[in-house]
A and B are shown apart, each in its own frame.
Chain A
């Protein structure tokens, strides 16, 4: 292997090879054969309809496939290390440590009876072995880096006391507090209003520079706004993958075209 090849190999953060997911009960194939690679500094959008297997892929990468579903084949590598066969204890170090996840609805993703900060502090303490004070300082610093105004106050706020945008910033902060290699974002802007959507996408774009990100969305326009590459998923398979401009402006697959046209329809007054 040449030095150049080694370097490129190193830059690959997430490498999904021939991933196959089935139901446990009747062995129905949900995702037959999925390949996807994400490099450092890159945001890849996984676009498709509801039920196409986007979220399932995302959870498989996080090692948390829902009950009744199992990984039936393939490999998942994170930073050159195979992770799909890790023991539960090793997984716990990866989740939240090397992989951070942003959920769709930030209101239901924070425990309503706990302060936003306590969740961040807990995660920082566990993964970094910090004491309470240091973890708190890190939480404030992280929230500030998410451009959350009044980060000091937000640490002690309950989820309902923050606005939707503030909550999603805090959620991204939670995903990023331990400086993960990979950010999984499952529909991160769907529950937000349009102006806030743009801010959150910009934030993700900025934060993904040190890491890699996989953004799941059904909104091809949102994907077009931040992603370097877009993979279009249909019934468990990636039917088209390429640089954003190519997928948006010269789609090869008819489904991609219909997705794009649907986005245009939605945006015209």
Chain B
């Protein structure tokens, strides 16, 4: 176990702090409103006066739109991860304890949810909701991806319940709630923290993919997926429209993965 900080983890920390700042201040950091249209400055290249990363076909500042997209993507991915984590962990723990019919029912539900390709299911759920907005996307992503957590938690917790020390604790008259709190949950923390970080990265991609297809963010919203989708038309003329969100996504995901990797090494 190394206690020294690798450059990757320092970089991830910087990205994390930057994320936090963006979550708080949003596009005001760029000095522009991401919706402000300036037809005199259409498709300005990066480093144009006043526009660090250039502008799009309506003269909107790319940096402002990227920051707004970050707020949307990171916020959505965080909330979706939290929802999936809460549902999955609760179900996994409930199934792991020797409740006969409840455990069976939850396992069935997990299998049922997992048997659908999650992306197709997300598209269907959003179509059924008939409303694309932040919470529709976030809820859908959370509700579709929780089996990842319930599977892992179920497997880990059931094996923990077989451990002699958990049985020994039960033989001292501990209640189930206390068994969980004292002996099961603390042992799950390393696995869960790694899983949460990787799941977050996955949610970033999933949310952008939905927005790219036009079923995530509402029309005209500045999100990374929507920017990629709109920028495609100007790929050769103005590559910065697609490169910006693409790089932003790569940076976030690499940062999340290096945090996940670091956590995994720590717990090994």
A95 in contact with B164 given A67-B98, A111-B183 (CB within 8 Å): no
- Measured between beta carbons, the chain B residues less than 8 angstroms from A94 are 173
- Measured between beta carbons, the chain A residues less than 8 angstroms from B171 are 62, 64, 95-96, 99, 101, 103
Closest to B161 in A: A67
Known A-B contacts: A92-B174, A103-B171, A126-B173. Give 14 more (CB < 8 A). Answer: A64-B171, A93-B173, A96-B172, A96-B173, A104-B164, A108-B164, A109-B164, A109-B165, A110-B165, A111-B165, A111-B169, A119-B172, A126-B174, A174-B172
List residues 97-130 of chain A with CB under 8 A from any CB of chain B. 97, 99-101, 103-105, 108-114, 119, 122-123, 126-127
* Minimum C-beta distance from A157 to chain B (A): 15
Interface code B80-115, partner A: CB below 8 Å = 1, 0 otherwise? Answer: 000000000000000000100000000000000000
- Measured between beta carbons, the chain B residues less than 8 angstroms from A114 are 182
List residues 173-221 of chain A with CB under 8 A from any CB of chain B. 174
Beta-carbon contact of A64 and B167 below 8 Å: yes
B186 at the interface (CB under 8 A from A): yes
- Measured between beta carbons, the chain A residues less than 8 angstroms from B163 are 108
Listed by A's residue number, 28 A-B pairs whose Cβ atoms lie within 8 Å are A64-B167, A64-B170, A67-B98, A91-B173, A92-B173, A92-B174, A94-B173, A95-B170, A95-B172, A95-B173, A96-B172, A99-B171, A100-B172, A101-B168, A103-B171, A105-B164, A109-B164, A109-B168, A111-B166, A112-B165, A113-B186, A113-B187, A119-B172, A126-B172, A126-B174, A127-B173, A174-B168, A174-B172
Closest to B170 in A: A64
* Minimum C-beta distance from B157 to chain A (A): 14
Beta-carbon contact of A108 and B165 below 8 Å: yes
* Minimum C-beta distance from B156 to chain A (A): 15
B265 at the interface (CB under 8 A from A): no
CA distance A109 to B183 in the complex (A): 12
Highest count of chain A CB atoms <10 Å: which of B163, B164, B172, B182: B172
Where chain B touches its partner, the secondary structure class is helix
CA distance A109 to B163 in the complex (A): 8
- Measured between beta carbons, the chain A residues less than 8 angstroms from B6 are none
CA distance A95 to B172 in the complex (A): 5
B175 at the interface (CB under 8 A from A): yes
* Minimum C-beta distance from A127 to chain B (A): 7
* Minimum C-beta distance from B266 to chain A (A): 14
Beta-carbon contact of B167 and A122 below 8 Å: no
* Minimum C-beta distance from A120 to chain B (A): 9
Beta-carbon contact of B172 and A122 below 8 Å: yes
Highest count of chain A CB atoms <10 Å: which of B164, B165, B166, B183: B165
- Measured between beta carbons, the chain B residues less than 8 angstroms from A64 are 167, 170-171
> What are the nearest 4 A-B pairs in CB distance?
A96-B173, A96-B172, A95-B173, A108-B164
- Measured between beta carbons, the chain A residues less than 8 angstroms from B164 are 103-105, 108-109
CA distance A122 to B179 in the complex (A): 12
CA distance A202 to B35 in the complex (A): 83
CA distance A157 to B175 in the complex (A): 25
- Measured between beta carbons, the chain B residues less than 8 angstroms from A99 are 171
List residues 182-203 of chain B with CB under 8 A from any CB of chain A. 182-183, 186-187
CA distance A56 to B171 in the complex (A): 14
List residues 52-72 of chain A with CB under 8 A from any CB of chain B. 62, 64, 67
Closest to A105 in B: B164
CA distance A114 to B187 in the complex (A): 11
CA distance A99 to B172 in the complex (A): 8
CA distance A62 to B166 in the complex (A): 14
CA distance A263 to B159 in the complex (A): 35
Interface code A58-92, partner B: CB below 8 Å = 1, 0 otherwise? Answer: 00001010010000000000000000000000011
Task: Select which of A105, A112, A122 is within 8 A of B182 by beta carbon.
Answer: A122
- Measured between beta carbons, the chain B residues less than 8 angstroms from A93 are 173
CA distance A111 to B170 in the complex (A): 12
